[in-house]
Structure 1
Amino acid sequence: MTPTLTILMVLTSHSMVGDTGKHTGVWFEELATPYYEFVDAGAKVEIVSIDGGNVPIDPASLKPAGENPPDVERFLNDTAAMGKIKQSGNVSHVNAGDYDAIFLPGGHGTMWDLPTSTALSHLLSDAWAKGKVLGAVCHGPAGLVNVRDTDGKSVVAGRRVAGFSDSEERAAGLDKAVPFLLETRLRELGAKYERGPDFTSFAVTDGRLVTGQNPQSSQATAHSLLEAIRNNKQ
């Protein structure tokens, strides 16, 4: 019998876009689509957040009932799944060794609390040292900027990486509001940043590191993460 895959999803706890007065959080589709990609593949999925407790959802990522993408509707009507984000665990209370992979969904909230969380950077650095797979989509790669490998180098340095592009941030009108531009930061860290056209699906795998560019990339990124886990177990 094939052992069950175990995947940890780490979500933002940050709910405001700087001092703009706009609310943010996790982008719901980037949570829901990977979640069901993993669950439907037979994986056990746990969800934690930076602060624990109720996870903020970006209001722009939710429409009235019946008008959302299928996976978002499925998640909203899934009592167990909704319970996981209403009472999420705290990222500081998990052990990297318990999981095959750790996945970071996006949403603008991630730009503030994922890079500044020492608990998250320690968890991801430990996971990488233990040979685990790391994945992130859209703004989720912001959680990788302070992650180090066993040599003390940035985990993205010299590796192929995708993430929300600077031109997409400008198109979203938030390039002046975010703490930094993600594409620019990844390049500064030595990543081999790759991208597709704005707001089209693009995901890249470099060994145990799997990243996607934008919300449209969430399914491709999740699918690639599962492939990377299987390859890593061979």
Structure 2
Amino acid sequence: MSPKVLVVLTSHGEIIDSSGKPIQKTGWYLCPTYTIEPAVNTFTIKPEFAHPYDVLAPKCEIVVASPKGGAAPLDPNSLQPWVKDDSSSANFFNNKKSLWENTAKVSDFLGRADEFDALFYPGGHGPMYDLATDKDSIALINEFWAKGKVVAAVCHGPAAFVNVTLPNGENIMKGKEVSAFSNAEEDAVGMSKYMPFALEDKIKEDGAIFQKASEPWAPTVRVSGKLITGQNPNSAKGVGEAIASALGTF
């Protein structure tokens, strides 16, 4: 029987400013392009769901959920260069829409960790607003962890871990090497002022050993036991490969 992976996407589709006013659409990321000033280069950032999907789908069953179920919002800003620059993203967007347009509710999977081998959270800014505090998601992570399953996330996906307290009273990330979207990267894309918290800072506060590349956008993946994390969208394929390796399929 093939390994089974539960992917959890955000249900949150708007960036909220300090007054509570929505200022732009968000969600999970496909393949954004960021121009980092004052640098002259444009960095093409790789897909956070498409590339891990390409790694895992040939040998794993993929099931997709979100807090609200139904359509999980795809950040419109993440669609810019994929047709030209990334055939994986183009194929994923054109042929796999049912994966994110018909998600099940996270609550439907509580008590069912034995049915799965891994849990994976792609990023995008949405998880900072809902998955960081979603009670069902937090309970789900606890159940998977208690069963010794692989638990993974990339970019802003590790926001889902910041409020996960294990039965011993410690955060799931405490004492583990963890990577996620860094403060420098958040500053570079001009989104720090809109985030409900600084992800890098919160992960450190939770007792993790935060790991990041020597420069923004470089791929970084950390495997700490059954916990797998990646720094940014360029790390997504590596996270997929690390999940596959942990499941014995890579």
TM-score, structure 2 as length reference: 0.87
Map of 2:100 onto structure 1: 85
Letter of the structure 2 residue corresponding to residue 143 of structure 1: A
Pair 1:183–1:82, CA change in 2 (3 A): same
Question: Are 1:9 and 1:48, in contact at CA under 8 Å, matched by a contact in 2?
Answer: yes
1:74 and 1:156 map into 2 onto residues whose CA distance is: 34
SS at match of 1:224: helix
2:56 and 2:175 map into 1 onto residues whose CA distance is: 28
Map of 2:4 onto structure 1: 6
1:46 and 1:36 map into 2 onto residues whose CA distance is: 14
Letter of the structure 1 residue corresponding to residue 104 of structure 2: G
1:43 and 1:18 map into 2 onto residues whose CA distance is: 36
Query: Deviation of residue 136 (structure 1)?
Result: 0.2
Question: Are 1:129 and 1:150, in contact at CA under 8 Å, matched by a contact in 2?
Answer: no
Pair 1:45–1:192, CA change in 2 (3 A): same
Map of 1:228 onto structure 2: 246
Q: Would you say 1:15 and 2:6 are equivalent positions?
A: no
Question: Are 2:82 and 2:89, in contact at CA under 8 Å, matched by a contact in 1?
Answer: no
- Which string of whole-angstrom CA distances, capped at 9 and with x for unpartnered residues, describes residues 51-102 of structure 1? 1011111111103773252221111222xx3112111101110122211000
Query: Deviation of residue 221 (structure 1)?
Result: 0.9
Map of 2:26 onto structure 1: 24
Letter of the structure 2 residue corresponding to residue 83 of structure 1: S
Q: 1:137 aligns with which of 154, 179, 186?
A: 154
TM-score, structure 1 as length reference: 0.93
Map of 1:185 onto structure 2: 202
Q: 1:205 aligns with which of 206, 217, 223?
A: 223
Structure 1 or 2: more helix by fraction: 1
Aligned length: 226
Question: Are 1:136 and 1:210, in contact at CA under 8 Å, matched by a contact in 2?
Answer: yes
Pair 1:77–1:141, CA change in 2 (3 A): same
The list of structure 1 runs, each at least 4 consecutive aligned residues, that deviate by more than 3 angstroms after superposition, is: none
Q: CA RMSD in A?
A: 1.4
Question: Are 2:174 and 2:207, in contact at CA under 8 Å, matched by a contact in 1?
Answer: yes
Unaligned stretches of 5+ in structure 2? 31-46
Query: Deviation of residue 200 (structure 1)?
Result: 1.0
Question: Are 2:83 and 2:89, in contact at CA under 8 Å, matched by a contact in 1?
Answer: no
Question: Are 1:62 and 1:68, in contact at CA under 8 Å, matched by a contact in 2?
Answer: no
Identity %, equivalent residues: 36
- Which string of whole-angstrom CA distances, capped at 9 and with x for unpartnered residues, describes residues 26-56 of structure 1? 001211111111113x100011111101111
- Which string of whole-angstrom CA distances, capped at 9 and with x for unpartnered residues, describes residues 149-188 of structure 1? 3312100000000000011111110111000010000000
Matches within 5 A, 1:87-166: 87-94=102-109, 95-166=112-183
Pair 1:65–1:203, CA change in 2 (3 A): closer
